[in-house]
Amino acid sequence: MDEVVAPVASQRIADHVRGQILAGALPPGTRIRQDDLAAELGASRLPVREALRILQTGGLVTLEANRGAWVTQLDQDDCELSYEIRERLEPLLLRRSMAHLRAADHAALEATQDEIEACTDVEEFLVLDRRLHWATYAGAERSELQAIIGRLWDTTHHYRRAFTYLAGAERRWIINAEHRLLLQAVRDGDTVEAEQVLTMHIRRTRVELRQHPEVFAPGFDASGLAG
């Protein structure tokens, strides 16, 4: 029984910590103390250790022997490289997905974009934006490609949040215009156009972040960019 329960408990803990990291409650560089986490979740140290290993595999946590665990922090070069990889891999995933999307999928994409255009909260936008993009990839078979891209999304999420604050409400129209162009190409089945729009969409974030090295400073609070 313990062999069955432990992996389930570890995954539950890993999902909890991942959620906190993506929500910004545990920013990059935050120390994760196993005893504190075990006490918070009412768990033993064994599944906590395994959960941290799961998160290490996903790139969200850095473990160092005899030192402990931290939320992974990227420097500017690491983040830029992650975005360059996304620029090359995500259009491929989109191409593999598009032929399998149906009218109901297209309608759901349009509905999500309507929600994005109506929302004013950055955290809500980040959730909806992720939902939109991954819905465009839903037609592709699960593969190592999806796993790689998912890891890149997770490890760059903090910096994507910073970009969203940097963009501000007055520049949100650019994001929405790119989304609409992407959805039109997906609906038309135009893979060349869809790939080009997606590449441009990802690249713009990368270029914008390049202009703001302060985002990569230890302890940087993305929400401080609001206003």
Q: What are 63-82's pLDDT values in tens digits?
A: 988 789 999 999 999 999 99
Q: Residue 16: its pLDDT value, please?
A: 96
pLDDT at 196: 98
pLDDT of 225 reads: 54
Q: How far apart are CA 17 and CA 22, in angstroms?
A: 9
Tokens of residue 111, six digits:
């509905």
What is the sign, positive or negative, of the torsion defined by CA atoms of 64, 70, 74, 78? positive
Q: Does residue 219 surpass a pLDDT of 80?
A: no
Question: Please, what is the average pLDDT of the chain?
Answer: 91
**pLDDT more than 70, % of the chain:** 95
Q: How far apart, in Å, do the first and last CA atoms of the chain sit?
A: 53
Q: Which of 215, 218, 156 is nearest to 29 (CA)?
A: 218
4 — pLDDT class (breaks 50, 70, 90): very low
pLDDT at res. 176: 95
State the virtual CA torsion across 44, 58, 155, 172 in degrees, nearest 10.
Answer: -100
Average pLDDT over residues 39-60: 94
Ordered domains of the chain (ranges, CATH): 2-71 (1.10.10.10), 76-225 (1.20.120.530)
Would you say 79 and 157 are in contact if contact means Cβ atoms under 8 Å apart?
Answer: no
CA distance 20 to 55: 12
CB contact at 8 A, 82 and 156: yes
What are φ and ψ of residue 44, in 5° steps?
A: -85, 170
Tokens 């796993």 sit at which residue? 147
pLDDT tens figures, 77-135: 999 999 999 999 999 999 999 999 999 999 999 999 999 999 989 999 999 999 999 99
The rounded radius of gyration (Å) of the Cα atoms in the chain is 19
Please check the confidence at residue 13 and state whether its pLDDT lies above 50.
yes
pLDDT at 227 over 60: no
Query: What are the pLDDT digits (tens) for 145-182?
Result: 999 999 999 999 999 998 888 777 777 899 999 999 99
pLDDT surpasses 70 at 185 = yes
Q: What pLDDT is attached to residue 201?
A: 96
User: What's the predicted TM-score (pTM) here?
Assistant: 0.89
Element (H, E) at 71: strand 68-71
pLDDT at 163 (0 to 100): 83
Say what the pLDDT of residue 172 is: 86
